Amino acid sequence: MILAISDILSHGDVTALRDGLAQATFLRGEMTAGWAAQSVKSNLQVHDGPDVEAMRSLVRTRLIEHPIFALATRPKTIIGPLFGRYLPGHAYGTHVDNALMGGARTDVSFTLFLSDPAGYDGGELIIDTPSGEEAFKLAAGSIVTYPATTLHRVMPVTRGERLGAAGWVRSYLRDPAERELLFDLETARRRLFEREGKTAEADLLAKCATNLMRMWCDD
């Protein structure tokens, strides 16, 4: 399941991250890529440090707190994110993310947009799907999540600066089909509850959702 979520960060959060990145040290992005992706990765990546870890912590907190992100990804661990900068001429060719990051399996990838899309040309995130390619260039503070198994790329930036963050989720639900089924079931259940309150039907949906999670959960 590919899902775009707007305003996962507040305007204040985006400003704080941009200010932090303005003071950060950037290195060549290919230094953090796997051996196969190094040849197609051309960007700048933030060097680690206490201030960078504080920015990562802010992003992880906002993601965990966001109900749609939590339902869509069922996060056990959030890995990263890695903050990147794309300037004119930078791009990231077609690749698949590593299966393991920081000792954890990557089930879901996410890209967090931090720049105003009007401030740069190019830089679209392109995700390969069975029905064709999907392109994303979202407002600052928005995110797109997608299975870590997919091929994807970042189009060349031709003007301006593209700031963003890439991260990964180790999910309690390993199977993307199971994550999508439970996401749809929980969404329907919550909408029914909001409309009709606690009913016998709502209780049955709660039982189904809970027991499917119990059946499929990889804890």
Q: What is the pLDDT of residue 34?
A: 65
Q: What global pTM score does this model have?
A: 0.93
Classified by CATH at the fold level, domain 3-171 comes out as Jelly Rolls (2.60.120)
How do residues 139-148 score in pLDDT, each as one tens digit?
999 999 999 9
Q: What is the pLDDT of residue 63?
A: 98
How do residues 35-70 score in pLDDT, each as one tens digit?
666 789 999 999 888 899 999 999 999 999 999 999
Residue 28 has pLDDT above 90, yes or no: no
Going from N- to C-terminal start, the domains of the chain cover 3-171, 176-216
CA 36 to chain centre: 22
